[in-house]
Amino acid sequence: MKYLGYIVFSVFCQSVSYGYITRSMDSWAVLRFVFLSFLVTSIIYTTVSIRRARRVSINDLGYLILLNVATAMAFVCFYVAIAFVPGSIASLIEAAVGPLWVLIVGRLIFKARLRLQEASVAAAVTVCALLAAKTSNHLESHAELLGLCLAALAGGGAALVALFSRKAASKGLAAEVILAHRFHLTYLIAAGLLTWHGQWLFEPVLNVNGVLVVLIGVIIPMYFLQLGMQSAEPVVTMLCLSLVPVITYAFELAFGDSFRWDTFAFIANGVFISSMYLIAKARRPGAS
């Protein structure tokens, strides 16, 4: 159960950053944030890995490449999505479709059995997310629809990260080694997009608030999230991440957004459904 605590702590930290980014950054500032934060995270954990004499073998490269692709899909898609729709809505979409991605990928790659209960929970949370987007008037423009689609893709990336992290842990890869190497494609894609469009202007990210968001939103929670993902079931990880929307919504309000009862109700219902499922799963015999 302690690994669930790691995930919940990382969820809280990330929610703070999502709320701030939603209210304070445009799409290019978000990409600059992604580049800077994940580059710094890679440097920090590479240093930690070297100091602890952790080495990467040839046999580890396959998992690290898969984790790079999945991580880039998760983070680039999600952070661009919250440039178009609020972080609370995007994270609810991501959390809702994540378990569906886990079930589909698990079936296609690992021949896992499809579970009707988990698919039903995921479908119910997805409906809540779409209703929350509708009541907050974020289902109207093409940009907002693009944001929701990107959030759904981010859910797929997050599901793949959970699956590949668990497989990597079974091969003996330490968390700091994974953190040192899984973000390279993420910051390179962000750098490529910024270079292509000539948007290298870091002042909005390098102020005090921006640096704190990099620290609280990425560097600190990544380690605890990695530990949690390596030991928790992938579906449990994704459903635990469903706590993000309601916490993010609270921070969006704290950073100046206006409160809507109907939007909050749908977000809270989505989180409640996922949380009840998580509690029920944890109480099953043999649950860790």
Q: Does residue 14 contact residue 217 with C-beta atoms inside 8 Å? A: yes
Average pLDDT over residues 192-217: 77
Higher-pLDDT residue of 182, 122 = 182
pLDDT tens digits, one per residue of 23-57: 888 778 888 889 988 998 899 888 888 887 667 77
pLDDT score recorded for residue 161: 84
C-alpha span between 164 and 142 (Å, rounded): 33
Tokens coding 37: 């934060």
Share of the chain above pLDDT 90, in %: 22
What pLDDT score was predicted for residue 114? 61
Is residue 118 helix, strand or coil? helix
Over residues 50-75, mean pLDDT: 84
Mean pLDDT of 251-256: 90
The string of pLDDT tens digits covering residues 154-169 is 988 988 887 787 777 7
62: three-class secondary structure by DSSP? helix
What single-letter amino acid sits at 249? Answer: Y
Give the residue-averaged pLDDT of 272-284: 74
Three-state secondary structure of 222-275 = HHHHHHHHHHCCHHHHHHHHHHHHHHHHHHHHHCCCCCCHHHHHHHHHHHHHHH
Do you know the residue count of the chain?
288
d(C-alpha 154, C-alpha 80), whole Å? 10
